[in-house]
Amino acid sequence: MAHNFMLNQTGYPTIFKITRNGHVGLGIGLDAHKQHDESVLGVYSGRANFSVDDLGLGAQALANGSTCLGFNAIRQGDGPFRFGLNNNKNGGAVIWADMDGALAFSTVASNGGAGASYQSPANIMGAYQRLRISPDGKVQIGRGLTSASPHYANYKLAVDGKLVAQSVYVMSATDWADFVFEPTYRLMPLPELERYLQLNKHLPTIPSAGEVQANGIDVGTMQARLLQQLEELTLRVIELDKQNQRLQAEITALAAKK
């Protein structure tokens, strides 16, 4: 048996309902939309809905799942999610957690269809997953890094795609390149540098194209190494300027003797 809680006046719609299977519906339009029959808790605002549900059983279950929140997304029993049509839009979002302690956010764009759209739990936890917080605090935006990445074990934030920011600070423990200006620092002689470049096809201390493609780069370390190359170039330019001044002085002295 179901218990219906209705406004007192005849003709007003049901605003609160508990079904005999324990599902709860709240809001205007329950009788028309029936989301409380599908979700543990369904809330209808008149234009969109909100649901609370478990993540199902069997083949349609989200992996080791516990609970999900649906925004215009209602779980169809242990089947797919239904995204209702409102104002010609049928997209929505699902926030879900699993019993391992992870929390994930998935969004589904409106497809412009004439009715509700449907997505399997596999798609919700796969192609439409936009952000995931792992039990150990790692955050993935997009699909995140794969276990094949050498940096997978110790990352805190993984972004699958471009990252745009107004300012980024890298607090790196890498030694900055000021050691280049120490009196004991030895510049590689140019003939030796030329042989190195011919053999390796990249500057000393700078990774090769193959290494970067395979392993990526550490931004802080790379900045320090590029600065080292720039400082070495600065020392070479200073030395060239001194040689040029000596040559100019010798030319001037020779010209004065004529």
DSSP 184-208: T--PPPHHHHHHHHHHHSS-TTSPP
Distance CA 56, CA 80 (A): 10
Domain count, the chain: 2
pLDDT in tens, 211-255: 998 888 888 889 999 999 999 999 999 999 999 999 999 999 888
Is 143 domain-assigned?
yes
- Are 239 and 206 in the same domain? yes
Domain end position, chosen among 115, 133, 159: 159
- Are 154 and 189 in the same domain? no
Is 31 domain-assigned?
no
State residue 108's pLDDT score: 94
Tokens for 39, please give them.
């979700």
Distance CA 101, CA 67 (A): 11
Domain end position, chosen among 159, 186, 212: 159
Provide the pairing of β-strand 139-141 with 157-159.
Answer: parallel
Distance CA 228, CA 238 (A): 15
- Are 181 and 149 in the same domain? no
State residue 14's pLDDT score: 65
pLDDT in tens, 28-49: 555 555 554 566 666 766 555 7
- Are 60 and 116 in the same domain? yes
Q: Which domain holds residue 77?
A: 47-159
Is 28 domain-assigned?
no
Please list, in sequence order, all residues whose beta carbon lies within 8 angstroms of the beta carbon of residue 245, skipping any fewer than 6 positions away: none
Please list, in sequence order, all residues whose beta carbon lies within 8 angstroms of the beta carbon of residue 113, skipping any fewer than 6 positions away: 85, 90
- Are 150 and 207 in the same domain? no
pLDDT < 70 stretches in the chain: 1-42, 44-48, 54-66, 77, 144-152, 173-174
State residue 50's pLDDT score: 72
Domain end position, chosen among 102, 125, 159: 159
State residue 67's pLDDT score: 77
- Are 202 and 128 in the same domain? no
State residue 56's pLDDT score: 58
